[in-house]
Amino acid sequence: MTKKNLIAIAALSCFAFSTSGVAQEEQLSMKEAAKKSANPVSDVWMLITQNDYTFLEREDGHHEMQNRVSFQPVMPVPIMNDEWNLVNRLVVNQYSAPGDRESGDFTEGRTNGMGDTVFLSLLAPNRDDGWIWGVGPTVIMPTGTDGLTQDKWQVGPAALVARLGKETGNPMSIDSWNVGILAQQWWDVSGSDDVVDSTSQADIQYFLNYRLSDTALIGMTPNIQIDWTKSGSDQFTVPVGLGYIDMFRIGPMPVRWGVELQYYVMKPDANSSMNPAEYVPYAPDWNLKFFIAPVTLNPFK
């Protein structure tokens, strides 16, 4: 699947949402859409397309650029008389990465192709503010092309806990803030040993956003990555950021969008170790991300 394919899928899905669900979107105000789309376990469907442009640093200080386009549909299903949601999220990634990764030469050329795919499913109470939580399984599927995959089926638990505000414009009030974390942990259960012998890794997305208005947020939503197979500080990749999120409409359909610049305050040291388990060809310095997410009411409700 190429980058053009992903963009085409997002555009076609956006068109389908806007034409088939007009009656529903007319009942979903911008305020309601903003509130629900800021909630990771709400009952609305979202079609998220995100682009991450990352500045990578080599051992010699030279910088390269990596681009990732991810398609992330969020499709909750109401259960137990709409009191709970089973929130399903698929993350499909397309990369343009520096180096000929299939041959192992990270100094020349580029590698373009699909990365591994993540599927997450959370069981959560259906509420839109205050304390929210969710638990469930998460899976990494080895769908990536050579050089862009760990070539392992990986499974593990996921958990979300957050507090969502219901006020705006008062930075001294907790109700003017959205704060929380979504943590995922994976261990390999099968696959080839050609890339890595085994995996044990975590992704922790934390968010801290101030509610400027009914639709606008300012803050950060970075992803901390942890590789438990490494030692010391090389285990951790930790960014901090600053971004802006708001809403607009395409016809009757609300659309969430956001942009954020992130800096990595902790990262593995880039090195040319002969040991494949310790080899780190690039370390991230900065990341600029942009996302767009059409929002529609749940077709199962």
DSSP string for 23-43: HHHTTS-HHHHHHHHTSTT-S
Cα gap 113→68, rounded to integer Å: 10
The answer as to whether 102 is a domain residue is yes
Nearest to 68 by CA among 111, 36, 106, 9: 111
The answer as to whether 65 is a domain residue is yes
**For residue 62, what pLDDT is reported?**
82
Cα gap 204→217, rounded to integer Å: 20
Residue 8 contacts by C-beta under 8 Å, 6 or more apart in sequence? none
Structural domain including 93 reads 3-296
**For residue 12, what pLDDT is reported?**
46
* Count of the separate structural domains present in the chain: 1
The answer as to whether 301 is a domain residue is no
Q: What Cα–Cα distance (Å) separates residue 131 from each residue in 40, 166, 206, 207?
A: 12, 11, 15, 14
What's the whole-model pTM score? 0.88
Q: What is the token pair recorded at 40?
A: 């990771």
The answer as to whether 179 is a domain residue is yes
**For residue 201, what pLDDT is reported?**
97
Task: Give the single-character DSSP code of 144.
Answer: P
CATH code of the domain in which 187 resides:
2.40.160.40
The answer as to whether 124 is a domain residue is yes
Question: Could you read off the pLDDT tens digit of each residue along the chain, which spans 301 residues?
Answer: 454 554 454 544 554 454 444 444 445 799 999 999 999 999 999 999 999 999 998 877 788 999 999 999 999 999 999 999 999 999 999 999 998 877 777 778 899 999 999 999 999 999 988 999 999 999 999 999 988 999 999 999 999 999 999 999 999 999 999 999 999 999 999 999 988 889 999 999 999 999 999 999 999 999 999 999 988 888 999 999 999 999 999 988 999 999 999 999 999 887 765 455 556 788 899 999 999 999 998 999 8
Query: Residue 154: phi, psi to the nearest 5?
Result: -130, 135
